[in-house]
Every structure is written in C-alpha cells, then in structure tokens.
Structure 1
C-alpha cells in the first residue's frame, strides 16, 4: 500500500483531549482505520473529573455558549446533548458586594428581539452601571460589531486600550467587559488580545439573539468527555490506547509515519498531533514548521478552582457572578457531584489566577470562606464539610496581544502530519469550542490530503 492509498488508510491521533477525540471521530466516520494514543489513563484532556471520597469532582467548571456550534456538534456526536443543557435565554445573576450602601443584586439578560435590541432591555435594567456608562456600552458595542476579529492589527493591541479609546470607564470594564472577558479569555482586559476579545464579544453577543445562552454539564465532565466519548470512538471502530505516551514521531523507509510509544510502534499514512504546544514541539520532526520555537513562546495562563461543601443549602440558584469581591463565578455542583447526606457543594471558578495559583490551601480557605459569607448570607454559620482546591497551571494559552503570530495552523511542511489543539490558529481563545474546531479542521486537512474529502459536520451545526 502506498502512503497515499485512499482505499485502506490508517490514521494515528496523538492525544485524547477534545481535539484528539474529535479528529479521531471525524477520520473514523470517513472510513479510515484510526488509532488514538493518550498518555493519561482517561480521555478528556483538561476537562475531566476525578473521585474524592463519594464526590465526583470536575477539575474546573466548564461552560459553553449556544454559539459554540462545534462543541454542540461534539455533544450530539457522543449522544450527550441532553446531559449538558443550555439556558432557554441568557440570564446571569450578578451580585455586587463592594458597595458602601451594601450588596446589590442585578442580572444580565436578553430578550427574543433581534440583535442588538436583544440586550437593550437587560442593559437598561442592569443596576451596576450608571445611565452614562450604559450609553457608553451601547456605543462601544456598535463599534465592536464593525470589527473583523481576523484583522492582524487588532491582535497587536490589548482589549483595555481599545475600551479606553471608546470611552469605557474603569467601573464599566469591571462590571461588564471583564465580568465576561476574564471567564472566556482567562485574562483581564489589559492582558488580552483585542482580536480574541472581539471574537468573543462579537460572536457571543452580536451574532444572533441566543448566541450567549449558557450551557454546562449536569453530570460529571468525565461522563461526557471520557465515558461517552470512549463509547462513541469504539462504536466508530477507533482503537484506543491509554497510558500510551508517544516518544517519537518519524518517517519510515516506506514513506509512512512511525509513531512509537514505550511498548509499541504504529504505522500510519496520516497523523494528527493533538497535544499541548510544548509536547508538540518535542515531537515535531525537523522542518515540519518554519519556526517551531514559536510554540515555546505560547505561554500558559492558570485557572484556580475552589471547592466548598456546606452542611446546608446556601445558594438557591444554579450560579452567580460577583463584583467587588475576589470571587468571580460560583456554581452549584451538588447534584452533578452525587453529594450524599444533604448540604450543598459549590465550585468557584477563578480565571486569570496568576497571583493565587500557588497559594497554600489554608490561605485560600481564609480568603474565600469569608467572601462567600459576604455573597451568601445563608453561608454565615454554616458548617464546612469539605474545602479543597484544584489548580490548572496550564489551563489555557495566555491570550496576550501578539499571540496570533505564535499560533500555527493545522498544516505542517511534513506531508501527512497535521496539528490540533485549542492553542492552534482557530480564531477562538482556548475553549472547548476551539479544541473541537481544531480537531475537525485537522481531520479535514488529513482527509483532503488522502483524497478523501468529507462533508464538514460543523456546517450542519452552524
């Protein structure tokens, strides 16, 4: 069989995160014989679950939006859509506890009106901005809607600079732009590429009325990204090898790829490399990229997750966002975790956590428990059944200005070798959506090179 024989092609996907699982599914659906190699004992990459006593704990709270058509396709493909429902309409409770007059509750909502009127009523009723600030937000949103996120000039400036040029006050940035931006970009406005910020806000808020409706898993992430994903892969005929860390990637004498783990060697006509950028740099054959050193310039940004189990219910809504507090977003994970014996399990998602990621648990406990009592009066006097943290030091790539030039596309100079991962040039920040899109794009490129073009499923999901 020649290296490009389309009749009996073999593919190896290195990496079992969302990008790798997507690529493997797409290639198998197109009729290729696919092997998936993952160094961990599970699938799911950085969106996974683990056991802590009787609890099933997600390493961090992950959400998606209605505009995330690629991730929605993924959920549908693994038959998990019903386990990660979307809001009927965007509705975000926002509690400001930094006011001298006392805490004040508000909401960010949308209506069913056309864009941009769908947000007008919610903005008008939003109590955390003045009338002048709300008018300024409307003007900035209209200006943002005229931008092209793919414009390289936008990647050269930071989001805060653009907001300042468009009359946004410090309060407006805190109470609106960073409220959304930090959670989606994993960076505050001064540290975020304007191109990526424009992508997030233009797609999520200004593309269609329901684009920003929020969805999240009602079950542990492992039930989706590992259990259901593995079932879908096996049903598609994909051979899965866990605890199989790839040590080398070379071309054999017959022109095919040779992918070696400690225990086995796999031959392939096409390879999708769907691992983090540092691991990709280690495995890339010489000459595969013009400047592979740029991969090492793609630095990481951490996310800290604080987990608290109370002996009673202290939050009577699925989630909330906070202002005037170190707390960013709080989610109720009681049902999804399988908590027994009453009480409530809350998970705090703390993005852009460079200053806190290495703090001791005792210091984080001292910092966050009083803050939760400020936000949630019912927490005052409640017993703490458990307190722990999870730290993702490499949660995302840092979306700093200039990051666009560092992100490679899926193609390489090595025929038959393609790259995938949320850090590649998807146009999106490091999200589940970006990961799935990268895996699908890599599969498309591999199929095209093998002479087996296949209908792009994301066109159907859009």
Structure 2
C-alpha cells in the first residue's frame, strides 16, 4: 500500500525510537545501522571479564521521553530513579580540608524543595547561597524558547545576576557541565535556562537521577532489538546508507553499501549532522550548510579497577580537582574476584581528549587518592580510557538557529537526532524526543493518527 513503507537510517536512540513509533502505527519499517550494534553513542563493549559502558549516562525524572523509551523496550526496571535527588559533592581544595556537601531535595513545593540543601551547602558562603536563590527566581522567569536567549552566553547572565566565580564553579557549572557539556561561558542561555528550569525549577522531583544498573548495551541494543523484532521492524546492522534520492514516481530510494537499493515512501535520517548533510538531497533544507556549523564537544571517561572497595556511595561529584563525577560500575560490569570498578565521567574534555593513557593515569590516580583515602593502599588492577570526540553537539550561543526541525522541504523526508530542534541539549532525552517528532511528522503527512503515551512530551 502506498505510504506504508519507511526506512530509518541510523540505529541510535533517535532512530530506534522513530522506527518503533512508525511500526507501532502500522508502517513496514526497515532500520539501517552501519555499526554491528544498536545504541549509537550510548553503548557497551567487552574488555576481558568486564562489560564496559563507553561512558556514564544518566537521566532525570523530567526526562519523560527517555522513560517512555525504557518502558517501550521493557527496560525501566533496569534503570531506576532515585527516590529523591541526592548528590554528594566533595571539595578537596577547601582551606580547612576536604568537605562534603549534598545537593538534595525535600518534598516541599518548588522552589522550597532545595532551600534547606542550599542553606547548608558548605561550598558557598552565606551571601553566595542567598545570591543563588535570587538568581534562581530570575531564571524561573525566563522563556527558554525566546530566540534572544540563544545568542547570550550563560556566564554573562549569571554575572549580571550577582553570581560569583565560586558560585558558578561550585553550583551552576557543577550541574551545567554534566548536562550541557559546556561551561557557562560557552553555553547558550536558552539551553541553560531550559536545563535549570526543567530540571530544578519545574517539579520537586524533576531532577531525581536515574541510571542503568546493567550495561547500556543490555538496554539500547539487546532490549531495543527485541522490541524492534516484536514490532516487525527489519533491522539491518553493518549496513551503511550511501545515498538518498527521489525516484520518478515520487518515492524515495536509499542506496546502501553493496549495491542494494531500498524503496520507501518515508525516510528518516537519524544520523549525526555531518552524515546527514552528506545524505541530504538537493533542496531538502533551505541552507543545509548550517548543519556543518553545529560544532561538537568531546567527553572523556577514565576507568579504574581497584583490588578492593574504595567508595561506599554509588556516585559523587567533585570540586577542587580535575575529577568531575565518579560512579561505581562494579555490579553492572560483572567484575569478579572482589575489588571495585570506578568510572570517571569528564565532560568539556577538549584539553585532554587526545592525552595518552599514561598521562591521564599520572593525572587522575593521585586525584582519586586525594578524594578517596581508601585508594592509597589499594592496587590498581586495570586503568583504561574511552573517548568520544564528538560526544555531543556544542551548545554554544547561537546554536539554536542552526538546529533543523524534523520536517524537511522534501515530502516524506524527516530528520532525527539529539542535535535537531528539540529544545533540549544533546542528551538521551533529546535523541528520543527527536525520533518521536520525526515519526509524528511523517504520520501526520500520511494522514495517520497514532496515539502514544508521549503526545504531550513530543
């Protein structure tokens, strides 16, 4: 039947989401992925006895799209949320010695839910804590969709609202670097406002943190593939799309490596922006070169396996040290024989993404000894590094005008990916939302109505 065939190019979260949504609406869907696995940049691999995530990924309770995705693939129980936001923050550079603070919420309504935590936060002075409250109220009044905010950097706005360098480091950047992959000075005010308003100033539980208690591959590859198979999606791994073109009868043709050509009425390109640019047919976007102006930002992950337990918490954030966030991945990795496996997630890694493993070892092992005294007598069983040089799009001021919508000028051709115009930074949430938006746009064009649990979020 005309309009019943779709091809989704890209098997990351955006592509898998689009394929599931289209298949759930009754389309015959083929999903093409060049890698031997699904999951995009949120994946796992084997290293000896360990199953290693390429990087630590978390989500928040406000990430309703990603929670829908977990439910859809029957994986929600494997990536639970905290009962309440609770982030230990350890400052090892305090003049009086290492000090532990906590960012946690109460059951009170916004913004009182964080008041007690901020009042006792030891990493800021009394005056700085009071200033945070005033800035938060001003931030709550911003409209993240206002185009004017996109052209301003977050640091400039924070300075205008009385935020000291220390406050930016110990609070705003502590959260912003992890969510935006940029410091306040390099982040669009529009995206920063969206993160803080949605995560911290919308609902009391919006910032409660969730993360996978199993390898990411169990979710984004194994369970996702099972869900695709059950939905009737034809999934082709190790199959890279080389060209997308319109045929004389108005349908689309996707050429893949090896010579096969797949004909479809609907095509969703769910690949990174440069790959999308290379595949776009002429006229699909008014200014396709804007895609090339969307920069990228790296994330570095440092993995350390000790011969004994050195950390009693599931994770913590750090100040006064190059270390940013540390997570216990022991159980999820399948580590045997005792010991503990820690993963250090290092965003904004432009200055060290190409450093050698030996240099990173010399830098980070002493820092872990400063942070965790129990490591000083422990033996390092393994030390290795994973690097994602293009982990996210760079959320720089002005990036909003570069991000395209799901619908293109070419009928039947749609875009998905965390870098598209979702309103969110480059997160798993943004990727899933983009896949839903692309599928919804396609189904609308086909005159189909598809009710799913994410209509409001999309």
Please, what TM-score do these two structures have when normalized by structure 1?
A: 0.98
Q: Quote the offset at 1:460 in angstroms.
A: 6.8
Q: Quote the offset at 1:455 in angstroms.
A: 1.8
One of 155, 158, 161 as aligned partner of 1:166: 161
Measure the CA separation in 1 of the matches of 2:226 and 2:284: 33
Q: Quote the offset at 1:99 in angstroms.
A: 1.4
Measure the CA separation in 1 of the matches of 2:449 and 2:414: 15
**1:372, 1:379 within 8 Å by CA — same for their partners in 2?**
yes
2:82 aligned residue: 87
One of 329, 334, 348 as aligned partner of 2:330: 334
One of 208, 213, 223 as aligned partner of 1:218: 213
2:192 aligned residue: 197
Measure the CA separation in 2 of the matches of 1:226 and 1:73: 16
Alignment of 1:124 onto 2:119: yes
Please, what TM-score do these two structures have when normalized by structure 2?
A: 0.99
One of 35, 40, 44 as aligned partner of 2:35: 40
Per-residue CA shift, 1:166-216, capped at 9, x if unaligned? 000001001100000000000000000000000000000011000000000
1:457 aligned residue: 453
Unaligned runs of 5+ in 2: none
Aligned to 1:385, the other structure's residue is in SS state strand
One of 367, 371, 382 as aligned partner of 1:386: 382
One of 384, 405, 411 as aligned partner of 2:407: 411
Unaligned runs of 5+ in 1: none
Instruction: Indicate the RMSD between aligned Cα atoms, in angstroms.
Output: 0.9
Per-residue CA shift, 1:379-424, capped at 9, x if unaligned? 0021000000000000000000000011001111110000000000
**1:444, 1:456 within 8 Å by CA — same for their partners in 2?**
no
Trace 1:120-269 onto structure 2 (pairs within 5 A).
120-263=115-258, 264-269=260-265
Q: Quote the offset at 1:125 in angstroms.
A: 1.3
Q: Quote the offset at 1:458 in angstroms.
A: 1.1
Q: Quote the offset at 1:440 in angstroms.
A: 0.2
**1:72, 1:461 within 8 Å by CA — same for their partners in 2?**
no
Per-residue CA shift, 1:345-376, capped at 9, x if unaligned? 00000000000100010000000000000000
Q: Quote the offset at 1:46 in angstroms.
A: 0.2
Per-residue CA shift, 1:21-71, capped at 9, x if unaligned? 000000000000000000000000000000000000000000000000000
1:420 aligned residue: 416
Measure the CA separation in 2 of the matches of 1:11 and 1:125: 55
Measure the CA separation in 2 of the matches of 1:251 and 1:459: 30
Measure the CA separation in 1 of the matches of 2:213 and 2:313: 14
Trace 1:365-384 onto structure 2 (pairs within 5 A).
365-384=361-380
**1:199, 1:427 within 8 Å by CA — same for their partners in 2?**
yes
Per-residue CA shift, 1:1-28, capped at 9, x if unaligned? 5xxx35xx10000000000000000000
- Quick one: structure 1 residues 434 and 27, their matched pair in 2 at CA, closer, same or farther if it must change by over 3 Å? same
1:363 aligned residue: 359
2:7 aligned residue: 12
2:289 aligned residue: 293
1:74 aligned residue: 69
Number of matched pairs: 457
Measure the CA separation in 1 of the matches of 2:190 and 2:93: 31
1:274 aligned residue: 270
**1:73, 1:461 within 8 Å by CA — same for their partners in 2?**
no
2:340 aligned residue: 344
Q: Quote the offset at 1:453 in angstroms.
A: 2.2
